[in-house]
Homo-oligomer: A and B are copies of this chain.
Amino acid sequence: MELYGYFRSSASFRVRIALALKGLPYDHRPVHLARDEHLNAPYKAMAPAALVPLLKDGDATLSQSIAIIEYLNETHPEPPLLPADPVGRARVRALSLDVACEIHPLNNLRVLRYLTREMGVSEDHKNRWYRHWVERGLEAVERQLAQHPATGRFCHGDEPTMADVLLVPQIFNAQRMECQLDHVPTVMRVFEACMQRGAFQASQPSACPDAE
């Protein structure tokens, strides 16, 4: 398999973790987002939405990190990244989407660029915007983890699931942007548990071949 991604893209980071948890080898194909390499014609021909990550598996070209993780989980079931029961699966997917739909889209590079370039928003306002969505979004995740009996060492039970795969890259971003995190103790306890696992450690941005 080949993974087209960017070391600092948290959506790419998610797929790296899933591949590592499954023990699947792959080739890194760096696409430098800050240099707009995702907008080059050869990449866009392969990736119609011009986004990273992109996974090539044989003839198949897959986009959207959650769709890729579900695919990996269906084609390589062990270890499972979703629980066996439908209600548990729905909980893990909902936690994943709480990161993927409620936090991350507001803070990705093209959105931040639009705020400053098209709307003339100041650096200070932009940073407050970033922190607002991360801090409020993680607060919602915290409420769901702290209140729920299915929360274990990880977001759901005592082994990592897709919810942990989504959460960890979001915490890396939050720390890089100096967001407040002391209001989400359960989130941070789960984060620490994840970072004790080799699959999460080995997938972090600083461990990528294209890290700067």
Contact = CB atoms under 8 A, between A and B. Distances in A.
A170 interface: no
Contacts of A64: 93-94, 97-98, 101
Interface string A86-104: 1101110110111011101
Interface stretch (A23-31, A70-78, A197-205): A70-78
Contact of A48 (B105, B114, B129, B147): B147
A132 B111 CA distance: 11
A193 B27 CA distance: 41
Contacts of A93: 64, 66-67, 70-71
Contact of A143 (B48, B91, B129): B48
Contacts of A102: 49, 51, 105
Contacts of A143: 48-49
B106 A90 contact: no
Contact of A90 (B62, B118, B119, B144): B62
A63 to B, nearest CB: 5
A48 B101 contact: no
A100 B101 contact: yes
27 contacts: A48-B143, A48-B144, A49-B102, A49-B140, A50-B140, A51-B140, A62-B90, A62-B91, A64-B94, A64-B97, A67-B91, A67-B94, A67-B97, A68-B90, A70-B90, A71-B87, A71-B93, A75-B86, A97-B100, A100-B100, A101-B104, A101-B105, A105-B105, A106-B111, A114-B129, A119-B121, A119-B129
Top 3 A-B pairs, shortest CB-CB distance = A67-B93, A48-B143, A64-B94
